Structure 1
Amino acid sequence: MSVVAPPTDHTRAHPTVLVTGFEPFAGAPVNPSGELARRLAELGHPDCRIVAEVLPVSFARAAPLLAAAIEAHDPDIVIALGLAETRHAITPERVALNLADARIADNDGDQPRDLAIEPGGPAARFTGLPVKAIAHDIAAAGIPAEVSLTAGSYVCNHAFYALMGLVEQRTAHRSATGEADARPLRAGFIHVPATPQLGGSPQFTLDELERGIRIAISTTLATRPHHDADLPGGSTH
């Protein structure tokens, strides 16, 4: 389901940001990632035009619908959102693995085990978002945030890996046609924690998460392509 920001006199001059989220899964009543995508598109952003797509929690269907949304909206930036209900922070993801290994079935009943998302594809693909800068700026606003080195092996990781493959394809096409430097597509994935409707702990309000993702959008817009903050990061284990 697509949602497009209300048009303004400045829409054409502004970059387009595609924000995606997911539908509820595993019996949950809501999925804040999908709610955030819709809300951001409906409320808009002063520095860009936001369009949204809520994806199915489906290994078979999520990536094709994501590709169709990119084709339809021709965005400058794609920020894909997903739910990580046990995390204590908003977590921009640094890397997607070429692995589908589902602990639970998706909404279509599929439960792949130890499969390559793209047979013969690279073992991993890295984000195109300035994840260190995003995490720093969100945390500076008082909202817990940190860079994550694993997007899991469920549909979120599957969509993230496919998304970065789409970026590679688009970059190669534009390079072949001499358009590579004109308007590079930047994309990546951010996990958000649970909201109160999902129970458990910790809990974040949808307003807090919206504020965090707005900061992520603003930081990405303000950062040159292929650059990130020069900050310590990584993990010791």
Structure 2
Amino acid sequence: MEQDIETVEPDAVVSLGLASGISSIHLERIAINTIDGREDNTGFKPNGERIHENGADGLFSKLPLKQLETALLNESIPVNISNSAGTYLCNNLMYSELYYLEQKQLNIPAGFVHVPPSHEIGIAQRVPSWPQEDITRAVHIIIENLQSN
């Protein structure tokens, strides 16, 4: 992610993650400086360690959350502002990108958005789901609103 930011020099960074069991878009407000969860594919089992030893306990999204919430609602897209990106991969990515941008003094909109599963995943896991076209439309609305900012 850091190399991609250096190479692309984006005007904004919007990271996406799948949150099984949700039925609306979740705009994440804060990432916390901890990682905890199940063992990953390499055998690492996080146990509440800090993501960045000298980093702040939490970092707030740099996305205009209320503006994005309004834009999505105006397009009849269910949305919530969430106060927890969890403690595992999604939170880790959100915290790491915000920390990196802060360290590099890059003042660009950045944050994390959880989306519900597509119907294909929802059926397999028997959880709430959305049509992929609606998920894609929501992401487009978010990006379009960042461009107009």
Moved over 3 A (4+): none
Equivalent residues in 2 for 1:46-85, closer than 5 Å: 66-85=1-20
Equivalent residues in 2 for 1:101-180, closer than 5 Å: 101-102=36-37, 104-171=38-105
Instruction: Considering Cα pairs closer than 8 Å and 6+ residues apart, tell me whether 1 or 2 has the greater RCO.
Output: 2
Percent identical: 32
Equivalent residues in 2 for 1:213-224, closer than 5 Å: 213-223=139-149
Q: Which of residues 97, 111, 119 in structure 2 aligns to 1:196?
A: 119
Partner of 1:94: 29
How far 1:217 moved relative to its partner? 0.7
What do residues 12-62 of structure 1 show as CA deviations (whole Å, max 9, x unaligned)?
Answer: xxxxxxxxxxxxxxxxxxxxxxxxxxxxxxxxxxxxxxxxxxxxxxxxxxx
> Which runs of 5 or more residues in structure 1 are unaligned?
1-65, 175-183, 224-237
How far 1:211 moved relative to its partner? 0.3
CA RMSD of aligned residues (A): 1.3
CA contact (8 A) 2:64 2:109 kept: no
CA contact (8 A) 1:91 1:135 kept: no
Question: For the residues of structure 1 that align with 2:75 and 2:81, how far apart are their CA atoms?
Answer: 16
Tell me the amino acid that sits aligned with residue 80 of structure 1: S
Question: For the residues of structure 1 that align with 2:70 and 2:40, how far apart are their CA atoms?
Answer: 33
Tell me the amino acid that sits aligned with residue 208 of structure 1: D
Question: For the residues of structure 1 that align with 2:81 and 2:52, how far apart are their CA atoms?
Answer: 25
How far 1:154 moved relative to its partner? 0.6
Q: TM-score scaled to structure 2, two decimals?
A: 0.92
Partner of 1:55: none
Task: Name the one with the larger strand percent.
Answer: 2
Q: TM-score scaled to structure 1, two decimals?
A: 0.59
